[in-house]
Amino acid sequence: MMRKPVVGIIANYYLINDEYPAQAVGRMNVDAVADVTGALPLIIPSLPTATDIPALMGTCDGFLFTGGRPNVHPDEYGHDETEAHGAFDRDRDRLVLPLIRACLDAGLPILGVCRGFQEFNVAMGGTLHPEIRDLPGRMNHRMPPDGTLEEKFALRHDITLTPGGKFAQIFGAETVLVNSLHGQGIEEPGDRIVIEGRAPDGTPEAIHIEGAPGFALAVQWHPEYQADKDKVSRPLFEAFGDAVNRWSAGEAWAAE
């Protein structure tokens, strides 16, 4: 029987009933990997004491760096902590930032979503704004506090993409409509971070890492929501799945 490729899905720290510590990911991340990439989803606890990077990279053929309520701690990019920075998950910081860099060096496929997008930037030496909506001329990109899941994850604004760039090639378009939901965002791009997509207010929302030997793309929206149906989400996960399958088969991913 042929082995299925494995995609590690990075989990977040949660407290159940405000007292029971847990590691979890949203079901939609699991479904996106299982239904669109064709890989086996494997939930990875964001606990550096429970695993190690070589073991993870030896087990997985790609990683999905998910969104989550906790933010990257500003210590990781040389800023002071403020109330605007919100909650943190230091264990996840300690695991994923070096994991991103190790995957880049090896060419192992990685896809970043929301917090994962921000982690790509910080891993490459970039900085983050703690609250985008407080900046002059910026929109409020945060998730609405009320409404159904469909209303919260509704498509909100266009992204303008670099003509001929990696994302424009994947989507077959230079403008796409997305469900952008986030509070923080890129301040200074990190080394080799190439911004390929921006919201109408100029906020960076699609990036790739220049010179990466493998798939290394990230978005500041939530393509995992209805990934099997959405005309933007599906091709992104299909492209990631193609890279994962190629890695599993020992083939190079064509990074034009």
CA distances from 73 to 8, 15, 82, 104 (A): 23, 19, 10, 22
Q: Which CATH superfamily is domain 6-248 in?
A: Class I glutamine amidotransferase (GATase) domain (3.40.50.880)
CB 160 within 8 A of CB 202: no
pLDDT tens, 78-103?
Answer: 877 777 666 779 999 999 999 999 99
At 253, which helix (H) or strand (E)? none
What's the one-letter identity of residue 114? C
pLDDT tens, 108-127?
Answer: 999 999 999 999 999 999 99
At 22, which helix (H) or strand (E)? strand 20-24
Ordered alpha helix ranges (H), 27-146: 27-32, 53-59, 90-106, 115-123
pLDDT for position 86: 67
Q: Is the pLDDT score of 255 beyond 70?
A: no
User: Which DSSP category does 71 fall into?
Assistant: B
pLDDT tens, 135-152?
Answer: 566 665 565 666 666 656
Which residues make beta-bridge pairs with 62? 7
CB 82 within 8 A of CB 34: no
